[in-house]
Chains A and B, each alone.
Chain A
Amino acid sequence: MPDLGDFAAAVLSSYGVTIVLLAALIALSARSARQARARLNRAEQQDKDRAGRG
């Protein structure tokens, strides 16, 4: 760990905010990607089932 002197709080909070916000953005984007894929798979399966019946 480098010696940050009087600037420790400023530097660490800057990196902390950046990492937390980027990690949250990546996690939320990945979650909505998973949910969208599942919703489309469900809709396509129901569409196929209907076509099979019809």
Chain B
Amino acid sequence: MDVSFEGDYIAAMSIWSYANPKKFIATTTPIMPWLWALAIGLTVAGLVWGFFFTPDARGFGANVKIIFVHVPSALMAINAWLMMLVASLIWLIRRHHVSALAAKAAAPVGLVMTLIALVTGAIWGQVTWTTWWVWDARLTAFFVLFLFYLGYIALWSALEDPDTAADLTSILVMVGSVFAVLSRYAVVFWGDQGLHQPASFSMDRETNISSVYWWPSVLAMAGFVLLFIVLVILRTRTEIRLRRAAALERRAYAEAAQRGQVVDA
């Protein structure tokens, strides 16, 4: 075996070894307190800075402060679905249970982020453009994404066999990804029809928003990203433990049934 190939092979093996549930829990246990502290610290810092220490904007007034909750939640609503897509593809291709459980764990977090973005966006729209909602491409795609989150969670609950549930929900994620991408790029595809403008955040100084708003926005976005990560890890650990507990309970039930100790209700 070629040396560099061996090195790559070992590196690849080490990535997939985290798909072992026991190793996943052992690895994430020591970093959880730090992740929580960083996630909550950055979120609070971004929101406090944005709420208390940013000036009113021309054309928006104090309404501009909604940007610090609306943009990070919309960002995570879309990216949570894309993370679920990657995890679902890993499940379909490599059959790693932890990745299927991570996708399942991410759905409620993504749903809440989508709900926050929908509500704060509607409030923003009502105050700024005197309308709660318009059926433009981006908003419609975003609303359909919200329905996909609900459908995904419902499908997991409806199916008893976890592997079948993981298979079918993975296919649902692939279909829903169309709407996640449309939510992000509708303005690019169809121009700035509706309430949204092209991206306000970019690396280009000419098109970027003022740094007075940019820095607290970046802090809030980093906080929301970390909050998503820490919640997904926490919920994945929960799913792993529930699955292990269910397996042990099934084994105990089967042994009791063999001994004739089970009384049917």
Chain A interfacial positions (CB closer than 8 Å to B): 2-8, 10-11, 13-15, 17-18, 21-22, 24-26, 29-30, 32-33, 36-37, 39-40, 42-44, 46-47, 50
Chain B interfacial positions (CB closer than 8 Å to A): 43, 47, 51-52, 56, 61-63, 65-66, 69-70, 73, 108-109, 112, 115-116, 119-120, 123-124, 126-127, 227, 231, 234-235, 237-239, 241-242, 244-245, 248-249, 251-252, 255
A29→B239 CA distance, assembly (Å) = 11
Interface contact A22-B112, CB-CB below 8 Å: yes
Main SS of chain B's interface residues?
Answer: helix
The closest CB in chain B to the CB of A20 belongs to B116
Interface contact A25-B62, CB-CB below 8 Å: no
The total number of A-B Cβ pairs within 8 Å is 102
Interface contact A29-B238, CB-CB below 8 Å: yes
Partner of A15 from the list B51, B124, B238, B249 (CB cut-off 8 Å) is B51
Interface contact A6-B235, CB-CB below 8 Å: no
A32→B245 CA distance, assembly (Å) = 14
Max count, chain B CB within 10 A of own CB: residue among A3, A25, A50: A25
Main SS of chain A's interface residues?
Answer: helix
A47→B153 CA distance, assembly (Å) = 31
Least distance between A4 CB and chain B CB atoms (Å):
4
14 contacts across the A-B interface (CB closer than 8 A): A4-B62, A5-B56, A5-B61, A5-B62, A14-B66, A14-B120, A22-B116, A29-B234, A29-B235, A30-B234, A32-B238, A36-B238, A40-B242, A47-B251
A7 partner residues in chain B, CB cutoff 8 A = 61-63, 65, 127
The 8 closest A-B pairs by CB, nearest first: A43-B248, A36-B241, A18-B69, A4-B62, A40-B245, A7-B62, A10-B127, A14-B120
A42→B116 CA distance, assembly (Å) = 37
A29-B231 contact, Cβ under 8 Å, with A10-B124, A11-B65: yes
Least distance between A39 CB and chain B CB atoms (Å):
5
Interface contact B123-A10, CB-CB below 8 Å: yes
Interface contact A40-B244, CB-CB below 8 Å: yes
Interface contact A15-B47, CB-CB below 8 Å: yes
A42 partner residues in chain B, CB cutoff 8 A = 245
Least distance between A22 CB and chain B CB atoms (Å):
7
Least distance between B7 CB and chain A CB atoms (Å):
37
Interface contact A47-B119, CB-CB below 8 Å: no
Least distance between A16 CB and chain B CB atoms (Å):
10
A46→B127 CA distance, assembly (Å) = 59
A36 partner residues in chain B, CB cutoff 8 A = 237-239, 241-242, 245
Interface contact A21-B115, CB-CB below 8 Å: yes
Interface contact B123-A13, CB-CB below 8 Å: yes
A22→B176 CA distance, assembly (Å) = 24
